[in-house]
């Protein structure tokens, strides 16, 4: 079984809809991250969480919110999706003792029409 899982893997939605992307991990890591990937732009950090009560904005947090329901679960929400949020979204984890090594989920491809 994969250590970092994301659901759904693919989603097509319409402008204005609320969308939630979920991430679960079995690695026991404290730190979790949400990135989006756009062609030619690499990965951009949306939000990160160092533990259940510590959530921080990344460089592109506008239009997104997150919830750390438990150490193993970190959800990303788009309250009112817009077409320029069409992208590939990745969840990642890292452990407190080795924070500079991140483990990525397989990604969620989101299309907003």
Q: Which residues bind other proteins (CB under 8 A)?
A: 4, 31, 40-45, 48, 58, 90, 92, 94, 98-107
Q: How far is the CB of 97 from other proteins (least distance, A)?
A: 10
Instruction: Please work out, in degrees rounded to the nearest 5, the angle formed at the alpha carbon of residue 90 by the alpha carbons of 93 and 33.
Output: 35
**How long a stretch of residues is the chain?**
113
Minimum CB–partner distance for residue 25 and other proteins (Å)? 12
CB-wise, 78 or 105, nearer to other proteins?
Answer: 105
Q: CB nearer to other proteins: give 69 or 98.
A: 98
Q: b vs e for 42-72, b when ≥16 Cβ sit within 10 Å of the residue's Cβ?
A: ebebbbbbbeeeebeebeeeeebebebeebb
* Nearest to other proteins of 62, 100 (CB atom): 100
Q: How far is the CB of 6 from other proteins (least distance, A)?
A: 8
Nearest distance, CB of residue 44 and other proteins, angstroms: 8
The residue among 43 and 72 lying less far from other proteins, judged by its C-beta, is 43
**Cα–Cα nearest to 109, from 4, 8, 2:** 8
* Chain-centroid distance, C-alpha 20: 10
């Amino acid at each position: 079984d994969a250590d970092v899982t994301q659901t759904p893997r693919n989603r097509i939605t319409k402008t204005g809809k609320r969308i939630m992307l979920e991430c679960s991990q079995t690695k026991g890591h404290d730190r979790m991250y949400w990135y989006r990937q756009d062609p030619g732009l690499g990965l951009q950090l949306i939000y990160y969480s160092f533990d259940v009560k510590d959530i921080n904005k990344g460089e592109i947090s506008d239009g997104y919110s997150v919830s750390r329901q438990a150490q193993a679960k970190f959800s990303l929400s788009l309250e009112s999706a817009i077409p320029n949020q069409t992208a590939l979204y990745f969840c990642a984890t890292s452990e407190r003792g080795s924070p500079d090594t991140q483990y990525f989920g397989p990604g969620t491809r989101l299309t907003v029409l």
